[in-house]
Structure 1
Amino acid sequence: MKTLNTYILMAFLVISGKSLAQQTPAGKQTEAVTIVGATAHLGNGEVIENSLVIFENGKLIEVIAANLTKRQYPGKIIDAKGKHVYPGFIAPNSTLGLVEIAAVKATQDEDEMGEMLPNIRSLIAYNAESKIVESMRPNGVLLGQIVPRGGRISGTSSIVQFDAWNWEDAVVKEDDGLHINWPDTYKRGSKWRGEDPNLKPNKSYVENVQELSDFFASAKAYLDGDRDYKNLPYLAMETVFGGEKKVFVHANEEKAILDAIQFKKDQNLPHMVIVGGYYSTGVAEALKNNNIPVLVGRPHSVPEEAHEDYDYSYKLAGKLYEEGVLVAIEGSGQMERMNSRNLPFYAGTAAAFGMDKEDALKLITLNTAKILGIDENYGSLEKGKSATLFISEGDALDMRGNILSHAYIDGREISLETHQTELWKRYSKKYKDQSGKEEIPTDSESSP
């Protein structure tokens, strides 16, 4: 009986492992790849209609018009006539890999207890084998900024690529930024406590901002002193004051944004980014003058107030862009991990509501790379940069055209299969026979 139970347990573990495992990460690029004839959207606003894109050893070595050269093409040749080439899309302010199943607490690792937590690092909690992370790739989302949540200072984010065995292999930029949840200037009362649910001024606002100022002052005093004891939160602030880490301030209201700008000046912070910025158009000039970019919330959201235009969120990124603010799109909010795969369609919505299509593309490519500080290698198709790109059958900002045939991260051709694509193929085959006869998938086709 004991032996039988052992076999049953082993079989269960094998089946579970098969259903939970991610695609095996791709190996290093071993030969040059030449993509011929595609329309290349460079991510910097430029388009090459009949392009020649060549990359080797993970780097782009040629991005030119195909009719400018008649030499023999090196390595593997991909005929992409009628298709489109894009730089890999980048998802900022994401919790991908930190939560797998929202209803199962054991799979949640996005938050820690406490309020001032600059020493908390999202990178070491990142699950590179997440099935949700895997599902980003078929839509062209190949990199992301992994951000902790909760507290007044949530912790430190890092930037990863989405095809790796573990967080060590995944990391693109380690500990890139500190994340602060700025106090709300207005709050709604809790109806469960019998409070007025309407918006009213936050009586603790000034006190909450002062707490932040006090923490920064204490950290500076500690770092300038003898450091006769180890204080991990204060030690983590050293790279913030030195400029190695950017400060991402999550704020939406005009007053909150203006106060954050003043906070930047008071604390002499080299780099600050506003995240969310729902009402940032009213302070666009101040943002521009202080060289502060904005990661606007996802356009696929309803207006927050009844008097606002229905398309307010759709146009927000475009309005900031017109004002000269460096802007990109982030996707936090309800069901944010699953919805991160819709990042290209967020940019497509911005294009549909006023932005030039190539300018909208920048919202998820080069602009994002600049804001995150990785534009030297990522965000656009330019000679010398990482060969992180994909080929799409059509317009990648439109869900009807976003059909990938090839995708590469640092020159490595990655799998576009996921748990979802395998299930789609399985049940498509089941119902394909119009005669009514049910087709039985093979073992390889039926294995999730």
Structure 2
Amino acid sequence: MKHINIYILFIALLISTSSFAQQTPGSKQTKAIAIVGATAHIGNGQIIENSVVVFENGKITSVNSGNTNTSGMTVIEAKGKHVYPGFIAANTALGLVEVDAVRATDDQNEVGDMIPHVRSLIAYNTESKVVESMRPNGILMAQVSPKGGRISGTSSIVQLDAWNWEDASIKTDDGIHLNWPSSFSRGRWWLGEPAGLKPNKEYANQINEVTNFITGSKTYLKGDKKPKHLPFEAMQGLYNGSQKLFIHVNDEKGITDAVHFAKENNIDQMVIVGGAEAYKVTTLLKQHNIPVLINAPHSLPANEDQDYDMPFKLAKQLHDAGILIGIQLGNRENFQTRNLPFYAGTCAAYGMEKEDALKLITSNTAKILGIDSFVGTLEAGKDATLFISEGDALDMRTNILTEAFIQGRQISLESHQTELWKRYSEKYKNP
């Protein structure tokens, strides 16, 4: 009898927890699909009215307007709706943090200061409820990045419908993340110091520490590599061009110093992450063809002397200066990544053309992350990672997805949030 009770308890626990599991990943595409009649937002600035988007075996085969032979295909009638390439969230902690206050669910910040060998991908949790909640807003891919330390580790890019991190990865170990020292520091008020900004006396020493690490890694890689040094070995991709260096920095001096640092160390593939004062050094950035992943615009100005709306209009200023830009979410709480399309919509509200704003989370971000050969736009030969929305996907009032596909697989748009919404809608509908 005791064993029967234990068995019943086990079954009850299984049933109670299974309802909270992530949606099962979509099945592999077995038949050609045509989306007919929608307004297609290609992601490169082009719009096709009354479009026909065809994809087969997980790849887009054609994007046309007007009549296309769709016999033998599964046809999705989407007249009056809009089709978009899947949105890409750059520099996120998706899948690395579930509950900020529960240390056991937080894998974004490892112990150590110079740890390029720490890979965020192996800690990525595909069954995260936070990850699941991204897809109903059209966010179908993300760069999962480590945080903390001076050199935080290595990021990877994933698609958001997978059984495990191996299945999720679409670009493994794409870049190494460096948190550039701040040229200013705040006074320690608890020690009686003025609370305002003051020059960071350790700035030069902190840069020297990074320079010495770079020099040491180059010496190690040119030698016999004995004894084995994992952090130094992890730097190889920066020197052979297979990885990018993502330098997290916001201030004008820091950006300038970071660019010169990368060039002096022959690191050609670099990206500025943050760039709150990038508008002050556009000539330098354009001269060296350096892209910027700007902070999400829903924030206060970085400094007291900036325009009150600087975070909102920064994207247009950099775009007009000819800088390749995207939006990154590193300065946002994990769950707020779902607002990515609305951040792009805000950039449109502050001067950018709507299709240029769309590029900030599609083709531009794909180029910056080095995945534009297979995602980022609706073009033949690229992955069928796309979605259909009832209206403008950059507007929270009309971003209402009806279907979404990742690599041709139709995915579920249900999440624990939509389940709760349905449950309590019924509760108050029928008291």
TM-score bracket for the superposition, by shorter chain length: over 0.9
Deviation at 1:6, TM superposition (A): 2.0
Looking at structure 1, the residues matched to 415 and 159 of structure 2 have their Cα atoms a distance apart, in angstroms, of: 16
Looking at structure 1, the residues matched to 272 and 252 of structure 2 have their Cα atoms a distance apart, in angstroms, of: 11
CA deviation map 1:390-448 (0-9, x unaligned): 00000000001100000000000000000000000111111124xxxx2xxxxxxxxxx
CA deviation map 1:217-266 (0-9, x unaligned): 00000011111210000111111111111000000001101111101111
- Are 2:97 and 2:107, in contact at CA under 8 Å, matched by a contact in 1? yes
Residue number among 329, 332, 350 corresponding to 1:331 in the alignment? 329
CA deviation map 1:289-320 (0-9, x unaligned): 10110000001111233332221111111110
Q: Which residue pairs with 2:25 in the alignment?
A: 25
1:429 aligns with 2:426: yes
Q: Which residue pairs with 2:221 in the alignment?
A: 223
Q: Which residue pairs with 2:319 in the alignment?
A: 321
1:48 aligns with 2:48: yes
Residue number among 195, 198, 203 corresponding to 2:196 in the alignment? 198
Q: After TM superposition, list the pairs within 5 Å mapping 1:330-409 onto structure 2.
A: 330-335=328-333, 337-409=334-406
- Are 1:36 and 1:66, in contact at CA under 8 Å, matched by a contact in 2? no
Q: 1:73–1:191: structure 2 CA closer, same or farther, 3 Å change rule?
A: farther
- Are 2:34 and 2:70, in contact at CA under 8 Å, matched by a contact in 1? no
Q: Which residue pairs with 1:37 in the alignment?
A: 37
Deviation at 1:334, TM superposition (A): 4.0
Q: Which deviates further from its counterpart, 275-284 or 188-197?
A: 188-197
- Are 2:276 and 2:302, in contact at CA under 8 Å, matched by a contact in 1? no
1:117 aligns with 2:115: yes
CA deviation map 1:316-358 (0-9, x unaligned): 11110000000000112242x1100000000000000000000
* Aligned AA (2:293): L
Unaligned runs of 5+ in 1: 439-448
Q: After TM superposition, list the pairs within 5 Å mapping 1:295-314 onto structure 2.
A: 295-314=293-312
Taking structure 1 as the reference length, what is the TM-score of the superposition? 0.94
Looking at structure 2, the residues matched to 205 and 2 of structure 1 have their Cα atoms a distance apart, in angstroms, of: 66
CA deviation map 1:372-396 (0-9, x unaligned): 0000000000011000000000000
Deviation at 1:189, TM superposition (A): 1.8
Q: Which residue pairs with 2:152 in the alignment?
A: 154
Q: State, as a whole percentage, how many aligned pairs show the same letter.
A: 60
Q: Which residue pairs with 1:64 in the alignment?
A: 64
CA deviation map 1:103-157 (0-9, x unaligned): 1111011111110001000000000110100000000000000000011000000
Q: Which residue pairs with 1:446 in the alignment?
A: none
- Are 1:264 and 1:272, in contact at CA under 8 Å, matched by a contact in 2? yes
CA deviation map 1:4-23 (0-9, x unaligned): 76246414531453243100
Looking at structure 2, the residues matched to 139 and 107 of structure 1 have their Cα atoms a distance apart, in angstroms, of: 24
CA deviation map 1:262-300 (0-9, x unaligned): 011111012000000000000011001101100000011
What is the alpha-carbon root mean square deviation over aligned residues? 1.3
Q: Which residue pairs with 1:211 in the alignment?
A: 209
Q: 1:55–1:427: structure 2 CA closer, same or farther, 3 Å change rule?
A: same
Residue number among 407, 410, 413 corresponding to 1:410 in the alignment? 407
3-state secondary structure, aligned to 1:401: coil
3-state secondary structure, aligned to 1:247: strand
Taking structure 2 as the reference length, what is the TM-score of the superposition? 0.98
Unaligned runs of 5+ in 2: none
Residue number among 230, 241, 244 corresponding to 1:243 in the alignment? 241
Residue number among 126, 138, 147 corresponding to 1:140 in the alignment? 138
Looking at structure 2, the residues matched to 391 and 190 of structure 1 have their Cα atoms a distance apart, in angstroms, of: 51
* Aligned AA (2:321): E
3-state secondary structure, aligned to 1:207: helix
Looking at structure 2, the residues matched to 360 and 389 of structure 1 have their Cα atoms a distance apart, in angstroms, of: 17
* Aligned AA (1:399): M
3-state secondary structure, aligned to 1:20: coil
Looking at structure 1, the residues matched to 23 and 191 of structure 2 have their Cα atoms a distance apart, in angstroms, of: 48
Looking at structure 2, the residues matched to 259 and 281 of structure 1 have their Cα atoms a distance apart, in angstroms, of: 15
Residue number among 90, 93, 96 corresponding to 1:92 in the alignment? 90
Looking at structure 1, the residues matched to 234 and 400 of structure 2 have their Cα atoms a distance apart, in angstroms, of: 43
Q: Which residue pairs with 1:10 in the alignment?
A: 10
Deviation at 1:29, TM superposition (A): 0.3
